[in-house]
Structure 1
Amino acid sequence: MHPAATPRIGITAVGSHLPARRLTSWQLQDEITAGAELALPARMLEKATGIRTRRFAAEDEYASTLAVGAARRALAAGRLHPDDIDLLLFASATRDLCEPATAHIVQAELGTRAHALDVSNACNSFLNGIDLARSMILAGRARRALVVTGETPSRAMRRDPADTAALREGFAGYTFGDAGAAVVVEAVERGGILDIAARTASEHWQAGGIPGGGSRHPRGDEYSYFRGGGKELRGIFEQIGPAALADLAHRTGLGWDDYARVLVHQVTVPYLERFVELTGAPADKLVLTVPELGNIASATLGVQLDRVKPQLSPGERVLMIGLGGGVSLMTMVWEAS
């Protein structure tokens, strides 16, 4: 007897959600320098990052709000009822509360009755969530999963830096924007997730992040802001990225020409240009989101996938490349069904 073939698991529906409020980098620069003795060159933020605008959640919008908006669109795209979901993963770098899991808040809003839990790994949270959903389906622990993210990193942005040193320490935070994304993961007859891998460099965990909210710094506004050096993080990714992509090509036999689209986490425009230069990725296959949305953390790849999925034909492949603090790099190859 021949062993049964491993079932194919794929992404069958996608949704995304953007908050209504739009803020230009020019407006943001005016906001963070108001009342402070900071004399910055005109449009410095835009020129340094290539980010023209970004979306910010309103005061009564939360990480769960954005996730629910995206989830409803994904369910509608898949013509699914909330009862059709038996695993719900909220996979995000931000959340509503320390406890309970934000997945339960999303579930209460959607009306699902699934096994619900959170997955968190900085900007790779969403890819990790898809990977976990796939694994649980293969293990027979779920039949159809809804993986959602709601990112509100704008709330970790220091809006009132006291001086140039504080501005420099929190500069990476000024790239942030807010967004939500969701995918349905289930068995498919063809295509699906062909390959997924991760590479970590955890010795660099202090390179950037939000220190507050955990047992080290449970309270205090000073620790609630993103701090860290974008250049340091970029240097780390440049060290581990080429080897990870070379391993992917060796493992799968696929090159850039084999992908219809390449989705990559985007922090700034110069960062993305350096990625193209370093890897040889074809620029015309990228999906640009950072100039209009900024760095939307783990929602980046979901928003990009939502934009390109209607254009894909069965059999076309998409490469997703995730970069996250910690530090981790993830790759996923998905084939449209």
Structure 2
Amino acid sequence: MHEDHLVRGPGLLAGITAVASCLPGHEVTSQDLQQRITEESGLRLPDRMLERVTGITSRRTAAQDEYASTLAVRAARRALSRAGLAPYDVDLLVFASASRDMAEPATAHVVQAELGSAAHALDVTNACNSFVNGIDTARSMILAGRARRALVVTGETPSRAVRYAPRGLGQFRDGFAGYTFGDAGAAVVLEAVDRGGIVDVGTETHSEHWDVGGIFGGGSRHPRSAEHTYFTGDGAGLRTVFEKAGTAVLDRMKERTGLDWDDFRHILVHQVTMPYLERFVELTGVPRERLVVTLPRLGNMASATLGVQLDLVHERLRPGDRVLFVGLGGGVSMMTMVWEKS
């Protein structure tokens, strides 16, 4: 299934007007991580295996007293400051993340309480596409007249779901995707703009593959099962699903907009491992120089990935520059969003 939206015309423009991100201070190298796994599990792994297989040299991890909301609040404050806004200037707050502080209430309320805002607050969750889905949700509410100005935040702490002491090679393989994870937060301010803004959104969903990977605890299926609080999944299976889906979602974006790769200043892509990213380039033909590669030093930051990438390049963008967001998420979903700086 897929759903596409082309958003253009007078009075139908909503755009990103401020961007920020937050990285925890603690750095963990792949060598550090592999040593911890070896010490806690007793497994003997090939030298520098994690770094060689994933292409990740390091990642950031949140401290014990830092939560998904902590990273989101820090990024939110920076975004509001850059926009010259106070928390009460926002009338919609969307916390969009694969991580959360608790099952209930929505983590958006924790973020809002810390910020001191009084906006309509809600969570949006869709694995590693959560942040882009959150931006699209806020954009839609602005265009519908339900909100004047929105703050979309994410705080990702997937390191909490890593199995550091696997019982044997089977559990190690099942949880291997978790060893790519890094923690981060990001935030954007959205509001009506006179020109540019988010001009196109496209999605493609293959929900028959929902069980290929995830964190399956905490819901009604496994409400109190410690075994299901770790990320487990078939990394090769996820890659196969994305490759079978092919480039259709990108092809439709180019057909609707009339844009090609050279029309984008940057192309932001969700990044899991370097071999996956190289395969994406091979399949799509995206120019390597258009990518913002964050994976080697920051790991797989779940839905915060694209927000961190945008923050890294945002200050260099000029009015009229276009940025393409390409989201890939478990479930399985793919997403594109075209944003033109106003």
TM-score, length of structure 1 as denominator length: 0.98
Shift of 1:36: 2.6
2:297 maps to which of 289, 292, 295? 292
1:270 maps to which of 272, 275, 282? 275
Give distance in 1, aligned partners of 2:181 and 2:170.
19
Shift of 1:162: 1.2
2:117 maps to which of 112, 115, 127? 112
Give distance in 2, aligned partners of 1:219 and 1:230.
25
Match of 1:156 in 2: 161
Q: Is the 8 A contact 2:90 2:149 kept in 1?
A: yes
1:1-337 → structure 2 map (5 Å cutoff) = 5-337=10-342
Aligned length: 334
| Matched residue SS, 2:301 | coil
Give distance in 1, aligned partners of 2:235 and 2:101.
26
Q: Is the 8 A contact 1:90 1:119 kept in 2?
A: yes
Q: Is the 8 A contact 1:241 1:329 kept in 2?
A: no
Q: Is the 8 A contact 2:40 2:164 kept in 1?
A: no
How high is the sequence identity, in percent, across the aligned residues? Answer: 67
Q: Is the 8 A contact 2:15 2:198 kept in 1?
A: yes
Q: Structure 1 unaligned runs (5+)?
A: none
Shift of 1:271: 0.7
Quickly say closer, same or farther: Cα 1:162–1:39, change in 2 above 3 A: same
Match of 2:5 in 1: none
Shift of 1:238: 1.3
Q: Is the 8 A contact 1:180 1:303 kept in 2?
A: yes
Q: Structure 2 unaligned runs (5+)?
A: 1-8
Match of 2:6 in 1: none
| Matched residue SS, 2:64 | coil
Residue by residue over 1:255-310, the C-alpha shift from the partner in whole angstroms, topping out at 9 and shown as x without a partner, is: 00110100000001111111001100000010011101100000000000001111
Residue by residue over 1:77-97, the C-alpha shift from the partner in whole angstroms, topping out at 9 and shown as x without a partner, is: 101111100000000000001
Quickly say closer, same or farther: Cα 1:235–1:188, change in 2 above 3 A: same
Shift of 1:13: 0.2
Q: Is the 8 A contact 2:41 2:164 kept in 1?
A: no
| Matched residue SS, 1:96 | coil
- State the 4+ residue runs in structure 1 displaced beyond 2 angstroms: 4-7
Amino acid at match of 2:267: V
Give distance in 1, aligned partners of 2:303 and 2:16.
17
Q: Is the 8 A contact 1:269 1:290 kept in 2?
A: yes
Q: Aligned-residue CA RMSD in angstroms?
A: 0.8
Amino acid at match of 2:233: G
Shift of 1:332: 0.2
Residue by residue over 1:35-93, the C-alpha shift from the partner in whole angstroms, topping out at 9 and shown as x without a partner, is: 43311111100000000000000000000000001001100110111110000000000
Amino acid at match of 2:282: E
Amino acid at match of 1:233: L
Give distance in 2, aligned partners of 1:161 and 1:148.
33
Amino acid at match of 2:235: G
Amino acid at match of 2:214: G
TM-score, length of structure 2 as denominator length: 0.97
Shift of 1:195: 0.2
Give distance in 1, aligned partners of 2:262 and 2:254.
11
Give distance in 2, aligned partners of 1:169 and 1:63.
24
| Matched residue SS, 2:243 | helix
Amino acid at match of 1:174: Y
Give distance in 1, aligned partners of 2:332 and 2:79.
29
Shift of 1:139: 0.8
Shift of 1:7: 2.4
